[in-house]
Structure 1
Amino acid sequence: MKKPMLLAVALAGTAASAAHAQSSVTLYGLIDEGLNYVSNVQTGRAGGALTGKQQFAMSDGATGIGGSRWGLRGSEDLGGGLRAIFTLENGFNINTGGLAQGGLLFGRQAFVGLANASGQVTLGRQYSVVSDMLAPFSEAGELPGHMGSNPDDFDDLGHSVRLNNAIKFKSASFAGVTLGAMYSLGGVAGAPGRNQVWALAATYANGPFSAGAGYLNARDPNLSYFGTNGNSGNSSTNNFGSFGSAATAQSNPVYAGFASAATLQLVIAGVKYHFGAASVGATWSHAGYSGLGDTSAGPNPLHYAGTGIINNGEINGSYAFTPAFSVNAAYSYTHKASVGEFGSANYHQGTLSAAYFLSKRTELYAIAIYQKASGTDSLGQSAVASITQLTPSATDHQALVRLGILHTF
């Protein structure tokens, strides 16, 4: 009796070892910390006018290259070239230890799916396929990361938005072409289209040249697109941003006034060319907030109607002097069209950055950004400068200098 039992135990152990060899789970993460100088940030209002002051602060990477995070990434070989995959990714603030994304445990990403040589399908909380595939063409996909996004990251090339209840497909590259598609279910009983988001994207790469384009359509974007964090509210809450108060600053004034849009449409295209140690890229972004005035989607204190439109053009370039030292520069022009009785707004933004790698996983970096605004922004006020992830300026200009350190593991 003992020999058969020992044999069974040995076979079970062998099977377990084989199964273990075919599966993997990786712990990974990123910690980004730095010192910020900002020329002007809003502190509130006085006498009906915005007030602001200079700011020196130690700031987590959410206002740097990328938000601090840790995650688990896993894969299991199912045979026949098929794999099960998953990712659970947490965002946190290194200065306080607090959770990011409104307090969600795995607020950055949380999905499971299947993959093979043709591509992968994943289900859960994920980035838009458009921002995933088009960000590499933009300044947000270069050294400055999230902070280098277009004003208030209105086009999500800085990965500010995550979509819940999403089914996402991304193909492998075939003759240089990669395709992507996504559908986020609204889950509203009796109204299949309510709160839904869908997107398509495609890229092409051939040697040093690459190009891509994407389209995203979000119904009731105040809820389905901008309202997906742990602290997001219902249709009476402005999840686009904030109008501020006498004691609090505004947020995302570039587009925060459009929370009552019935539909958001994003169209983005980009190109990039690499030659030697240098690269040059360009993007064009269009955001259309149509059906303004739908208070079942979001508040409309300015009584907007019709469509709010924001267009942006950007050019960026980088050069690696050595494998360890590189620089990057970009310029973008953003135009918000007139809406009703409210006029248009313009934003000019210049970015300059440099990075030095102490090792493959640790780098020191410096970022300088200047933004100048004019006209009337989405909050119906004289446009104020608003660099992505910073508190907006109380004036029409804002300058940032950041010195940081980033470590990946």
Structure 2
Amino acid sequence: MKKVLSTAVLATALLVSVQAHAQGSVTLYGIIDTGVDWESQAAKAPGQQSASGSAVRMTSLSGSLPSRWGLRGKENLGAGLNVIFELESGFAPNSGALQNGNRLFGRSAWVGLETPYGTVRAGRQINMTYIALMKSTVMGPALYSLAALDPYLPNSRSDNALSYFNDFHHFVMGATYSTGRDAASSPGSAAVNGGATFNPGATNCPGNVAGSSTACRQITALAGYWGQEFGLQFVYDQLRGGPGLSPGSVSYDPSMPLLLPSASAKTTRYMVSGYVQFGDLSIRGGAIHRMTTTATDYQTNIFYGGASYMLAPDVELDGEISRIATTDQKNANYYVMRATYLLSKRTSIYTMLGFMQNNSRASYSVGAGYYTVANAKQTGVLFGIQHRF
């Protein structure tokens, strides 16, 4: 029944989009991006003592960018006012499965109002952490990216969220407030996650609990300067825990299988980042401090820097170096390179090379969402193709 309803909703949305597009108010858009990934020293599950061997896989989480399709609309009300909306669905191109916690519009589902004094939006949307990250990392949410060190970063979206953003002569400010940061939960029986399989896109924290003003709340804020030649920004991000949807379940941290069983348990991030532009050369980087407070405190620090260069009108080169250090000394250095060849304005092919240098306690995989073992010096190679429509 669910599949029939989902199909009906998709068909209706497509019909409406085609009709509205003729009126110039709605755009149907998307990206299909997939490739073949090879990684050394791969593990089948977290916690393995020794690697199972190398692995060859078609990407599902992301290639150079996550695959998605969406509907985006705008209506002019006059006097500088516009109603806007966005519905965006992420999918796995290798199987066609839904992403982002198995939601039809898991990437975004919001409606808003543009005014001369800023933009207000309501619904599921990216928060200020995501916005700042896309301004300060050259790899974005690729399979080989900062997502390998902190899976929250490419999944920094909030359910039940109100947001405000304004750009005034390149000075920017914005904030989001969520009454329940993540209403989706993933199925499973892993005891460490209160009965839910770890999934950074579905962390089981719907909020809106009677008698609790802070359960599953999330606040993000951004302030900075975005000029054509350089930019600098500061971000604050706090998410709280709380009870889950099913009896006895609790929420968890989207960065790792770490329970946030009550509203007093929280994860707070502070980010400072920026960019400099020299013609065809872009240099970006930043630092992210994270502190999770539960029964004990857990902290991580990520430092990253990279460059992007248009070697030719149809050839782009990217490279990024990052490092993570944690309170339990699960430290690693991460090196990524990417070369992209533009076949046309909408189609490109690319290759990525990643190298993860774990210490004796760390087991970060070179490919986000996959597994390796402690102390692994893991190499990954990815060949992919991307088409935009």
1:131 alignment partner in structure 2 = 130
Shift of 1:395: 4.0
Aligned partner of 1:331 in structure 2 is 321
* Matches of 1:333 and 1:258, distance apart in 2: 25
Partner SS state of residue 120, structure 1: strand
Cα distance in 1 for residues equivalent to 2:282 and 2:115: 32
Corresponding residue to 1:209 among 230, 234, 243: 230
Is 2:56 the partner of 1:56? yes
DSSP 3-state at the match of 1:136: helix
Q: Deviations over 1:162-183 (max 9, x none)?
A: 2110001111x21210111000
Aligned match for 2:163, one of 163, 168, 175 = 168
1:10-409 to structure 2, matched below 5 A, reads 24-44=25-45, 49-60=49-60, 62-141=61-140, 145-150=141-146, 152-154=148-150, 156-157=152-153, 159-171=154-166, 173-185=167-179, 186-220=207-241, 236=249, 239-240=252-253, 255-257=256-258, 259=260, 262-290=265-293, 292-293=294-295, 306-338=296-328, 344-375=329-360, 382-397=361-376, 398-409=378-389
Q: Which amino acid aligns with 1:194?
A: A
* Aligned residues of 2:340 and 2:350 also touching (Cα < 8 A): yes
Distance 2:258 2:266 in 1: 14
Residues 275-333 of structure 1, C-alpha deviation per residue, up to 9 Å, x if partnerless? 1211112210011001x23xxxxxxxxxxxx2100001111011111121010111111
- Whether contact under 8 Å (2:332, 2:356) holds in the other structure is yes
Q: 1:115 to 1:234 in 2, by over 3 A?
A: farther
Please tell me whether the aligned partners of residues 215 and 242 of structure 2 are also in contact (alpha carbons under 8 angstroms).
Answer: no
Displacement after TM superposition at 1:126 (Å):
0.8
Shift of 1:347: 0.9
SS of equivalent residue, structure 2 residue 216? coil
Q: Distance in 2 between matches of 1:239 and 1:233?
A: 14
Deviations 1:67-126 (A, max 9, x none): 211100011111211111110111111221221123211111100111123321111111
Structure 1 residue 156: Cα displacement = 3.9
Distance change >3 Å, CA 289–CA 183, structure 1 → 2: same
- Cα 1:283–1:136 shift into 2, 3 Å: same
Q: Secondary structure at the match of 2:357?
A: strand
**Shift of residue 257, structure 1, vs aligned partner:** 4.0
Identity %: 29
How far apart in 1 are the matches of 2:23 and 2:45? 57
**Structure 1 SS opposite 2:66:** coil
Distance 1:44 1:212, change over 3 A: closer
Q: Look up the SS of the partner of 2:312 in the other structure.
A: coil
In structure 1, C-alpha distance between the alignment counterparts of 2:33 and 2:84, rounded to whole Å? 27
Task: Identify unmatched segments of 5+ residues in structure 2.
Answer: 1-19, 180-206
Deviation at 1:207, TM superposition (A): 3.6
Secondary structure of the residue that 2:132 maps to in structure 1? Answer: helix
8 Å Cα contact 2:252/2:259 also seen in 1: no
* SS state at 1:84 partner: strand
Distance in 2 between the 1:51 and 1:264 partners? 31
RMSD: 2.6
In the alignment of these two chains, the number of paired residues is 340
Provide, for residues 175-198 of structure 1, a one-character-per-residue CA deviation record: whole Å limited to 9, x for no partner. 210111000013111111111001
| Greater Rg by CA | 1
How far apart are residue 213 of structure 1 and its match? 1.0
Partner of 2:7: none
Deviation at 1:152, TM superposition (A): 3.3
Contact (CA 8 Å) 1:317, 1:328: kept in 2 or not? yes
| Residue 105 to residue 20, structure 1, CA distance change in 2 (3 Å) | closer
Counterpart AA for 1:334: I
State the TM-score, normalized to the length of structure 1. 0.77
Distance, in Å, in 2 between the alignment partners of 1:117 and 1:22 is 25
Report the Cα offset of residue 50 of structure 1: 4.6
Letter in 2 for 1:197: Q
Counterpart Cα distance in 2 of 1:222 and 1:406 = 40
User: Aligned partner of 2:323: which letter?
Assistant: Y
Find the counterpart in structure 2 of residue 341 from structure 1: none
Q: Aligned equivalents of 1:386 and 1:20: distance in 2?
A: 43
Paired position in structure 2 for 1:12? none
Alpha-carbon distance change, 371 to 82 in structure 1, aligned in 2, over 3 angstroms: same
TM-score by length of 2: 0.80
SS across alignment from 2:59? strand
- What is the DSSP-based 3-state SS (H/G/I as helix, E as strand, rest coil) of the residue aligned with 1:359? coil
Correspondence for 1:249: none
1:147 aligns to what SS in structure 2? coil
CA contact (8 A) 1:350 1:371 kept: yes
- The one-letter amino acid of 2:113's match is L
What is the identity, as a one-letter code, of the residue corresponding to 1:94? P
What is the SS of the residue equivalent to 1:104?
coil
Q: Distance in 1 between matches of 2:326 and 2:243?
A: 19
In structure 2, relative to structure 1, the CA distance for the partners of 1:113 and 1:345 (3 Å cut) is same
Q: Tell me what 2:4 maps to.
A: none
